[in-house]
A and B are shown apart, each in its own frame.
Chain A
């Protein structure tokens, strides 16, 4: 197979049918900064296909999560989340200790452990390993942190063919697209577009049958595993007291990537640590149920060191690259909780905003609610001013999170940080200042309310039909100023002529009269 990234700019299939190519993969996750999400969000809300797929897939998985977790954990579901959250929080509180312990134990088991301060360092270490082994072909399992470092791009730039082996990621790679979900990366694509990409890039006959497509991918990928010089993986967990790495996959590709090629390189964010193997079941029980509503991931692979002399399988050499890339910044006490994330994607599945805008609207590697709080801290708040505000703060993410990250709380915190950094609009600042001032006294509050009422009722005109002074509300079709966005999509109700206080006074008089 030729390099898919280079070929995918073609705009016609073998059948001559025109293809709608998505944005180049890289630009989707690494847009021009500062990032303005409004255009992509607007496009997404007008994209019927995306609306249908993302909506149905996320809702199905969210419902499966709820059903499975309630079935298994019952009233203890919340306690499980509390437990998982507290294990992660404890580990993060003592991360320096656990990282040292992990390095000692992994090294003792024969693994070479590297530490990378940022994306460039991480990729440079990997390129060096590739060079040492004169690598020509790399197979890779799914890993969000390698999306963060843009690893595939850097490997291919030096002529190392790098194949994504997770089926979803493989399809995205063929189509020069980018993941839009942490767990189900091609949630935004349909079968037909997969069929077209396969026909175009692999030269096979067009089919949109999922089984056939899977078989084609399997056939192509099997050979790649055998030929590969290096296998690259991410890591779901690192176990400090044994120096082990855990990867959880459903397709078995992770196991092939980490055991067939002679060299295995794991890219892992430093926050993926847990203290001991005894803590692992808590997360294995929660991870897959939270992610896709299945009892457990199909392949749970615990690796400690490379192949030993008496073992038949496994890599001869194993490297782990511990990656910081902004994590120590997030580790400061006021945002530390964010690093508990185990990348299950439950917050995306439960999020009504994600369901409408899809993953690419977040303009970064990490989409959805968790991305909306992580990305601004990773990449600079001023670069992602939309993300903290593009949420209704409904709290569905917090309810779904298996490690109890209070995402709405952090969205509000980041909003406060934007204001503290004077990133808010002057008119907003004055508006809220005046509103807040009017609320200090009941009479100014009431006067402001009356004033707004008169203004709105004048604009509502003939729409006021009810005669009851406590119900005679009308509708405004259009308002100017900061509230214009409201009437862009819906009518604005007016207050009735009399407020509750008027009734209360009358009520007291009547009672006194009795």
Chain B
């Protein structure tokens, strides 16, 4: 099938390897991947801060860019949730774009859920092999696309990877304290939250944290760096691509 990739602004600039992995996996599975180059950002930073009018213009652009797409896949639960939960609230007075916003939400999928729920891929059957001791960070905005309670469903998918030693993290459902501008406006609170998360990661003694949302990764990895805790952050997409031999393991 023809799949359009919404890379998200953070993955585009900060974590391009995630996008590379997504493209390689989908092509490996025999699908045609397109990248509409006019895309920018879903507008979540403005929306969450309360700048609704500014967000509306960005959302309109996003809707236009993907209007002709059959399927939109994005490697971020947070950005998928923005499209699913919030886009239509921006166009309550604009019936034309309200309809388009709903149409975009209906065809937008978070990458891992697209893999398991739409393409019905089982990582074990696919032959994904990857060595390492890893834990998983549940990103809260998965709640916006129906994944609640610490992301047990994603953990089940991770456990399908052959060779991966999975260690459960304590308080999996607890937010890392990112929250976009919250992390800058309330460093005291956000800082206490991310320190809690880092302590939970330390306790797992995992070498790798699987984190599929770039915002959480920026926050938690930045806190690990500050605490001098050497742990590697990676997305499940990268693990799958490495595990299928589509990406060279990361070299430092």
Contact = CB atoms under 8 A, between A and B. Distances in A.
A489 B187 contact: yes
Interface residues of B, number: 72
Contact of B51 (A432, A452, A507): A432
A393 B41 contact: no
B128 interface: no
Given A490-B225, A493-B218, A439 B40 contact: yes
B12 A436 contact: no
A500 B12 CA distance: 5
B222 A491 contact: yes
Contact of A445 (B41, B171, B182): B41
Given A432-B54, A439-B43, A489-B194, A495 B226 contact: no
A389 B185 contact: yes
A398 B148 CA distance: 11
Given A391-B182, A393-B179, A59 B190 contact: no
B16 A499 contact: yes
A475 B222 contact: yes
B175 interface: yes
A68 to B, nearest CB: 14
B251 A442 contact: no
B179 A392 contact: yes
Contacts of A501: 12, 35, 37
A395 B140 contact: yes
A419 interface: yes
B193 A392 contact: yes
Interface string A415-437: 11111000010001000110110
Main secondary structure of the interface of A (DSSP, over half): helix
B47 interface: yes
B191 A466 contact: no
A236 B73 CA distance: 46
A357 B186 CA distance: 11
A500 B19 contact: yes
A390 B177 contact: no
Contact of B179 (A394, A398, A449, A468): A394
B188 A391 contact: no
B14 A473 contact: yes
A470 B193 contact: no
B32 to A, nearest CB: 11
Interface string B44-82: 011111111011011001000000000000000000000
Contacts of B38: 441-442
A327 interface: no
Contacts of A388: 50
Given A391-B179, A432-B51, A504 B149 contact: no
B252 interface: yes
B130 to A, nearest CB: 17
Contacts of A486: 183-184, 187, 222
Interface of A: 38, 41-42, 45, 51, 59, 66, 350, 352-353, 355-357, 388-396, 398-399, 409, 412, 414-419, 424, 428, 432-433, 435-436, 439-442, 445, 449, 452-453, 465-468, 470-471, 473, 475, 482-486, 488-493, 495-496, 498-504, 507
22 contacts: A393-B182, A395-B141, A416-B52, A417-B50, A419-B51, A433-B51, A436-B43, A436-B57, A439-B58, A442-B37, A449-B12, A452-B13, A484-B184, A485-B190, A488-B187, A490-B219, A491-B226, A496-B14, A503-B19, A503-B20, A504-B19, A504-B23
Interface of B: 7, 9, 11-14, 16-17, 19-20, 23, 35, 37-41, 43, 45-52, 54-55, 57-58, 61, 89, 140-141, 143-144, 148-149, 171, 173-175, 177-196, 218-219, 221-223, 225-226, 250-252
